[in-house]
Chains A and B, each alone.
Chain A
Amino acid sequence: MANPKPLRTAIVGLRHGHVGTFRPEIPGFIHSFRHLEGVELVAYCEDTDLARLDGAWTYDPSAHLYTDLDDLISNEKFDLAWVVLPANEVPKAGIKLAEAGKHFYMEKQFARRAGDLAELVKAVHENGEKVLPGYPHRFNPVAQDLKGIIDKGTLGRP
C-alpha cells in the first residue's frame, strides 16, 4: 500500500511500567512511537494517577490529554489505542474500544481471569478490529528460527 495515512493513536494508561515516563525520561511505549512509521500519537489518557500526565505537553506539545476513556472515545479522532492498563481494567476498556471501532494493542495481563476477557473477545470478533496482545517472545528472531528448526523435523518428535 503506497503512503497510507498515519494511524492516529492514543495511549490509554500511564501507570504500567512498560509505558515509560515523560519526566524523568524512562524508556517505554511512549518513546517507541517516535520511531514507528505510519503512526501519529494524538492523545494520552490516564484516569487514575493524573500526575502521570505531567510532562506530556513538554514531550509532545501537540497531544491532547484525557482523564476519562469515554471522553477520549467521544471527543478524539483516532484509529488505534495502545492499552497499557492493570489487568482488571483491560476488559472494560477493550470492550469500549472495540465497540467504538478502534484497533488496539493490549499489554499483558489482559484480565484477572479468562472469564473476565470473554466479553472483550466477543466484542472484537463482532466488530472486527485488529488486536495485538503483548506477548512479544515468539517474534524474537531466535524463536522464529527455532520454530523453523522444529517444524523441519530436525529435532524429531517432541
Chain B
Amino acid sequence: MHTGQVRPGGRDPENFVYTNEAEGGGILHMLGGHFLELSRFLMGCEVKWVQAMNGRPVGYIEKPLEDLSIAAFEFENGAYGSIHAGYLKRSPGSNDSSLVYCGLDGHADWTPIGGPNLTVSSTCPDWSGAPEKTFNYSFPPAPGYGGSVWMLNWLQQFIRDIQENNEPSLTVDDAFHVLQLIDAAYESACKGQRIEVEYGV
C-alpha cells in the first residue's frame, strides 16, 4: 500500500497524525493497521511471528517515525504474509494498493483494496467450468464518513448492536491485538530480528 508522501505540499508534516507525541508511529501505525486487521480477518487467526524493516526515504515525517515499513508474518495457522506500506507517492491524494491472497488451490486479487473488482481463480472441481472469475461490485455513494452506503451500514450496525445488546463483530480486543502486532513489528525493526507477538492484557 503506497500513499502520498508526508512532506510540504503533500500530507502536512504538522498534522498530529504524523507526530511522535500524538501518533507514536509512522505508516504502519497510522494506516497499516487497517490492512493488518483485514489480514487477520481473512486468515481467521493472529500473526504469531513478525520480522520488519522500517525506513525514512522521504524524511519529512517527524523522527523517528517511518515513511516506509516492510514486514513479513507467520500466522498461527502456519501461513505466511507480508505488507509493504509507504508514504511514498509524490502525487498528493493518490494511492496504490493491492491485496493478494494465495492458497495452494487458487488465489484472489483485490486491487485496489476497497475497489469494486475481485478476481479469483481456483482449481477446485466446482470451478472447473470457469476457473477464473471477476466479481464486480457497485458502491452506491452516501454522505458522511467514507462516502459509501456500506460504510454507513457499518456504522448503523453498531447502533443496532447497542440497541439489541449484541456484541459488535469487531471489538476493543481486536483493536488491542492489532496494536500489539504493530508494536512487535517496531520491536523487530529496531532489533533486526523476528519477534513472537504476545497478545492479551
Looking at B108, B151, B155, which has the most chain A CB atoms within 10 Å of its CB? B155
Contacts of B129 in A (CB 8 A): none
**CB atoms of A27 and B150 under 8 A apart:** no
- A87 interface neighbour in B23, B38, B108, Cβ under 8 Å: B23
For chain A residues 1-60, which have a beta carbon within 8 Å of chain B?
1, 4, 7, 15-20, 27-39
**CB atoms of A131 and B33 under 8 A apart:** no
**CB atoms of A111 and B179 under 8 A apart:** yes
Contacts of A141 in B (CB 8 A): 137, 150
Contacts of B110 in A (CB 8 A): 142-143, 146
Q: Once the chains are docked, how many angstroms separate the CA of A140 from the CA of B120? A: 17
- B41 interface neighbour in A1, A33, A121, A143, Cβ under 8 Å: A143
**CB atoms of A118 and B22 under 8 A apart:** no
Contacts of B17 in A (CB 8 A): 16-17, 86
**CB atoms of B172 and A133 under 8 A apart:** yes
Taken residue by residue from 93 to 120, chain A's Cβ proximity to chain B (1 for < 8 Å, 0 otherwise) reads as 0000000000101101111111101101
Contacts of B113 in A (CB 8 A): 137
**CB atoms of A156 and B104 under 8 A apart:** yes
For chain B residues 153-201, which have a beta carbon within 8 Å of chain A?
153-164, 167-168, 170-176, 178-180, 182-183, 201
Contacts of B178 in A (CB 8 A): 135
Q: Does B86 contact A (CB under 8 A)?
A: no
Instruction: State the Cβ distance, A25 to closest chain B Cβ, in Å.
Output: 10
- Give the nearest-CB partner of B35 in chain A: A137
**CB atoms of A27 and B145 under 8 A apart:** yes
Also in contact, A121 and B144, with CB within 8 A (given A86-B17, A158-B102): no
Contacts of A70 in B (CB 8 A): none
For chain B residues 1-58, which have a beta carbon within 8 Å of chain A?
15-17, 21-25, 29-30, 33-35, 37-38, 41-44
Q: Once the chains are docked, how many angstroms separate the CA of A142 from the CA of B117? A: 8
**CB atoms of A136 and B179 under 8 A apart:** no
Contacts of B144 in A (CB 8 A): 20, 27-35
Instruction: State the Cβ distance, A39 to closest chain B Cβ, in Å.
Output: 6
- A156 interface neighbour in B103, B116, B147, B153, Cβ under 8 Å: B103
Contacts A/B (CB < 8 Å), 12 sampled? A27-B144, A36-B159, A38-B163, A112-B25, A121-B176, A132-B168, A138-B37, A140-B150, A143-B38, A143-B42, A155-B108, A156-B124
Chain A interface (Cβ < 8 Å from any Cβ of B): 1, 4, 7, 15-20, 27-39, 79-80, 86-89, 103, 105-106, 108-115, 117-118, 120-122, 124-125, 130-133, 135-143, 145-147, 149-151, 153-158
